[in-house]
Amino acid sequence: MSKSRLLAILLAISAVGLLWVFLPPAAVYSQGVGPGHSPMRAGNSPSVALIDINFLFEKLPHFKQMMDQLKADVERAEAEVKREREELTKLVQRLESYRGTPTYKSMEEEIARRQSELGVRVSLQRKEFGQREARIFHNVYREIQDEVDRLAREVGFDCVIRFHGDAVDPERPDSILNYINRPVVWYGKDRDITMTVLMRIAQRRGYEVSQDNQGNIIVRMATPRAPERPPVPFNMQR
């Protein structure tokens, strides 16, 4: 058997296998969605879903609030370090004028001590800020994971895959390269649960969700919490 013939047979077998994996079993689930949203195919129970994690990080207000606070703390620390370094630079410049005097040695020791202390402080602050940033990402990601877990158990998903839903910019080579390298080549829009998860987290936290004139999703921290709203239907679409 020729190599080309063998390759064709293997590709055919792989295609049949993928169809078997992704074709869902008989119906146990139905849903209601608002106008303009794509419903799941009637009579089918979804088995595989996709979620855009980057989109959720971008839209969740408490993540942005914590990152903004971290950024402000980093900027304050950097300003303090800059001020300290400027003072040390001035001391070094003054040091030369004391060369050959008893004061020279004491000033030199003071400069060395302060430089060492500053280096240690900068190193510890970098570690602290890195740990804070990691905890923020970890905690918000766990919150997303927990919501996905609840939704998957309710609907009956076997697997939820991460993907990137950003539109490709044909004028930017890096955007095109990222688009080509995406692991998910095609998906049905009804498999994207990103908006469903966002709306459920927003409802759980009492956030307000709206759209601007360009259709961009805006999520805000609400003032007084609204009365309990009905559960978010699966599947909301972006």
Per-residue pLDDT reduced to its tens digit, 58-73: 999 999 999 999 999 9
Q: Is residue 226 part of a domain?
A: no
Please answer whether residues 104 and 163 qualify as being in contact, where contact means their C-beta atoms are separated by less than 8 angstroms. Answer: no
Of residues 54, 34, 66, the one with CA closest to residue 221: 66
> Helix (H, G, I), strand (E, B), or coil: what is residue 102?
helix
The residues near 224 (Cβ < 8 Å, ≥ 6 apart) are none
Cα maximum dimension of the chain: 94
Structure tokens at 209: 């969700």
Compute the average pLDDT of residues 225-237: 55
Compute the average pLDDT of residues 37-65: 79
Q: How confident is the model at residue 234 (pLDDT cuts 50, 70, 90)?
A: low
HSE at residue 213, side-chain half, CA atoms within 13 A, is 0
Q: Is residue 17 part of a domain?
A: no
Residue 85 has pLDDT above 60, yes or no: yes
Q: Is residue 148 part of a domain?
A: yes
Q: How confident is the model at residue 44 (pLDDT cuts 50, 70, 90)?
A: low
Q: Is residue 166 part of a domain?
A: yes
Total domain count for the chain? 1
Helices (H), the chain: 3-22, 53-59, 61-95, 102-155, 173-180, 194-205
Q: Is residue 112 part of a domain?
A: yes
Token match 């919150």: residue? 143
Domain that holds residue 33: 25-221
Residue 8 has pLDDT above 50, yes or no: no
Q: What is the DSSP letter of 97?
A: G
Higher pLDDT, 184 or 11: 184
Q: Is residue 120 part of a domain?
A: yes
What are the distances in angstroms from CA 73 to CA 76, 105, 109, 129, 132?
Answer: 5, 36, 31, 9, 11
Q: Is residue 178 part of a domain?
A: yes
Q: How confident is the model at residue 57 (pLDDT cuts 50, 70, 90)?
A: very high
Residue 30 has pLDDT above 70, yes or no: no
pLDDT at residue 223 in the model: 65
| Segment 183-204, tens digit of pLDDT | 888 888 989 999 999 999 999 9
| Segment 93-135, tens digit of pLDDT | 999 888 888 899 999 999 999 999 999 999 999 999 999 999 9
pLDDT at residue 145 in the model: 97
Kindly tell me the sign of the dihedral angle through the C-alpha atoms of 181, 184, 189, 194.
negative
pLDDT at residue 34 in the model: 37
Q: How confident is the model at residue 236 (pLDDT cuts 50, 70, 90)?
A: low
Report the alpha-carbon distance of residue 35 to residue 132 in Å, rounded: 42
Q: Is residue 137 part of a domain?
A: yes
Q: How confident is the model at residue 27 (pLDDT cuts 50, 70, 90)?
A: very low
